[in-house]
């Protein structure tokens, strides 16, 4: 598990053994069961999570109680309600397990300690944040340019494994279409 995590970081910045030990010491390890919540709406958001194995959904519930999936988080992803995490505000989204999931947890205090203790990590998080921003922009573009069927195809092409791992109802909630429409797409 440390290996996966170390490799993940070293894809961006090389680390000595001591440096990695320092980095790793800021995290705690947690296992969650399917359907368990890591974050509930209105919670104080303690941690950002690195997904070691499993699958999470970041979900927003609107005024009419409809649920929308902002993001899936699979192996090798970082996830949390970032707005609440960084600003210390209450969670507007929930983070819940679709499968049993193992994560590494990083508190905001430890995040800051980590960044000041090892400047390389600031670059690491900058890189991650940049890629996240770019990925979000791509998702926005797919809303602008594509209809339901096209967005569905793009999603399957990008993350083929999702098709096996999550119910179609959730894929619909991610794509912004009704489950009925999604059901009628596959011809």
Partner DNA sequence: TGTAATCTGTGATGTTTGTCACACAACAAA
Partner DNA sequence: TTTGTTGTGTGACAAACATCACAGATTACA
Taking a C-beta distance cutoff of 8 angstroms, is the pair 50, 128 a contact? no
The Cα 24–Cα 8 span in angstroms is: 12
Q: Is 35 in the site for DNA (CB under 7 A)?
A: yes
Q: Per-residue contact track with DNA, 97 to 126, x per CB under 7 A?
A: ------------------------------
Taking a C-beta distance cutoff of 8 angstroms, is the pair 178, 172 a contact? yes
* Beta strands in the chain, from DSSP E residues, in sequence order: 28-32, 37-39, 47-53, 55-61, 67-74, 78-79, 94-97, 101-107
Residues 6+ apart with CB under 8 A from 106: 26, 27, 47, 48, 49, 50, 114
Q: Is 185 in the site for a copy of itself (CB under 8 A)?
A: no
Angle between helices 148-158 and 168-175 (to 10 degrees): 110
Taking a C-beta distance cutoff of 8 angstroms, is the pair 178, 145 a contact? no
* Complex with DNA: residue 157 or 186, whichever CB lies closer: 186
Q: Is 110 in the site for a copy of itself (CB under 8 A)?
A: no
Binding residue for a copy of itself, selected from 144, 160, 180, 186, defined by CB under 8 A? 144
Binding residue for a copy of itself, selected from 1, 21, 109, 126, defined by CB under 8 A? 126
CB of 147 to DNA, least distance (A): 3
Summarize as ranges the residues that interact with DNA (CB under 7 A). Answer: 34-35, 147-149, 167-170, 176-184, 186
Summarize as ranges the residues that interact with a copy of itself (CB under 8 A). Answer: 60, 62, 66, 68-71, 82-83, 86, 115, 119, 122-123, 125-126, 129-130, 132-134, 136-137, 139-141, 143-145, 173, 176
């Amino acid at each position: 598990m440390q290996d996966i995590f170390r490799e993940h970081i070293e894809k961006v910045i090389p680390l000595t053994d001591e440096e990695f030990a320092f980095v790793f010491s800021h995290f705690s390890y947690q296992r969650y069961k399917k359907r368990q919540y890591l974050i509930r709406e209105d919670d104080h958001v303690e941690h950002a999570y690195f997904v070691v194995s499993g699958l999470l959904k970041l979900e927003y519930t609107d005024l009419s109680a409809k649920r929308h999936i902002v993001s899936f988080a699979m192996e090798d992803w970082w996830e949390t309600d970032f707005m609440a995490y960084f600003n210390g505000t209450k969670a507007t989204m929930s983070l819940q397990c679709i499968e049993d999931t193992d994560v590494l947890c990083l508190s905001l205090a430890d995040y800051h300690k980590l960044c000041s203790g090892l400047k390389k990590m600031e670059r690491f998080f900058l890189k991650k944040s940049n890629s996240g921003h770019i990925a979000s922009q791509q998702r926005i573009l797919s809303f602008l340019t594509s209809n339901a069927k096209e967005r569905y195809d793009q999603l399957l092409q990008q993350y083929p494994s999702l098709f096996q791992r999550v119910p179609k109802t959730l894929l619909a909630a991610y794509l912004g279409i009704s489950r009925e429409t999604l059901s009628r797409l596959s011809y």
